[in-house]
Structure 1
Amino acid sequence: MKSKKSEGYLINGQSKSGYFEPGEVYEMSFIAYADMDYKISVGADVEDKNGQIEFELYEKKNKQVKDGNTIRYEKVDKILFKNKDNEMTQSFEFQSGATRRIYVRVQVPKVDGGDGAAESYVCVGVLLEHQRGVKTGFGN
C-alpha cells in the first residue's frame, strides 16, 4: 500500500490500521471533501488469502418511515462500493461531489491459529489517499 506520488496522491491522515480478531467486522469513517479525488486501499497480513480482504464503502441516509399517523426517520446504509462485486480489488478510486461522511466496513479474514493467542490476531490497514480533483467542462 505505497502512495503513488507520481499520480499526485498524498497520504490522508484519516488512514487507520490495527490488530483485530479473525472474523471480526471493523468499521471506520472518514470525511470526503467536495471535488477531491480519493483512493482507498486495504490490506491484511493473511498469507492464505494473499492479503485480500472484503470491504465496502457506504454512507448513512435518512429514510422516512410511516407508522400509522406518525412519521419518523431511520438511518439506513446506502452501499457505494463493494469489492466483492468488483473482482475483490483491494483499492478503489472515486471523487466526492459533496462533502460527506463515508463509512468503510472491513471483514477481517479468518485464519488458522490458536485461540486468542497474539499470533491469531490479524493486522488490517486502510490507507486513504487524496488529491485535488481534476475539473472538466466549462467553469464559471
Structure 2
Amino acid sequence: MKVTLTLALLFGFVFGFAQCPPAEAFMKKKKTKDTYSLNSQSRSGSVASDESYEMSFIAHAGLDYRLTTVLGEGSTGTLNYEIYELVVEKKTEGEKETFKRTKKVLASSGSAEALEFTSDKSRKIFINVSITGGDKKKLACVGVLIETKRTEKTGF
C-alpha cells in the first residue's frame, strides 16, 4: 500500500511539472479593461529548441482577432513565429486557367508583438512557432493566445 501511494505521488509530481500550463495561464493581468476574451482555439505546448510547431485555426466573419505568442516562464531561447494564410491565385495563360496556392504572411516575429485583424469572411489561419538559441535538452513552453471580440458596427 505504501509503495503504491508513493509511486502515485511520484508520477503525479513528475507529470505535473512535465506538461505546460493551459493557454489561459499565459495571459497577463491587465490594469485596463480589455474587451477581448480568450478563444477556445488557443493552444499551449512544449517545443524543442530548433524545431518548429505549426497549428491552424478558423477565423470567422464579424469578429476582431488578436494573436499573441508567449514563451513560458523558465523557458530559454528566442521565440520566433510566422502567421500566414494560404491564398488561391488564379492565373490565365492563353485559354488555360491554373490555380496555385501561395503563402501570404500576415505577421512575423520581427513585425509586431501581437497581430490584430478583423475577418470579413471565414478563413483558415496558420501559425508556425519555433525557438532558437535555447537549451536543446530542455523543452520550452509556448502559448499561442487567440483572443476575440465582436466587430463594432459602423454607419447608419
Q: Indicate the TM-score class for this superposition, using the shorter chain for normalisation.
A: 0.7 to 0.9
User: Are positions 1:123 and 2:137 aligned together?
Assistant: no
User: Are positions 1:81 and 2:107 aligned together?
Assistant: yes
Q: SS of 2:33's equivalent?
A: helix
Q: Is the 8 A contact 1:19 1:124 kept in 2?
A: yes
User: What's the TM-score once normalised by structure 2's chain length?
Assistant: 0.68
Q: Which has the higher contact order (CA 8 A, sep 6+)?
A: 1
| Structure whose alpha-carbon radius of gyration is higher | 2
Q: Tell me, which stretches of 5 or more residues in structure 2 are unaligned? A: 1-25
1:81-100 equivalence runs, <5 A: 81-86=107-112, 89=113, 91-100=114-123
Q: Is the 8 A contact 1:26 1:108 kept in 2?
A: no
Count of matched residue pairs:
128
More helix by share: 2
CA distance in 1, matches of 2:130, 2:38: 23
**Aligned equivalent of 2:67:** 40
Return closer, same or farther for 1:33/1:103 CA change in 2, 3 Å cut-off.
same
CA distance in 2, matches of 1:25, 1:66: 36
Instruction: Supply the AA of the counterpart residue of 1:38.
Output: Y
Query: How far off its partner does 1:6 sit?
Result: 2.2
Q: Tell me, which stretches of 5 or more residues in structure 1 are unaligned? A: 115-119
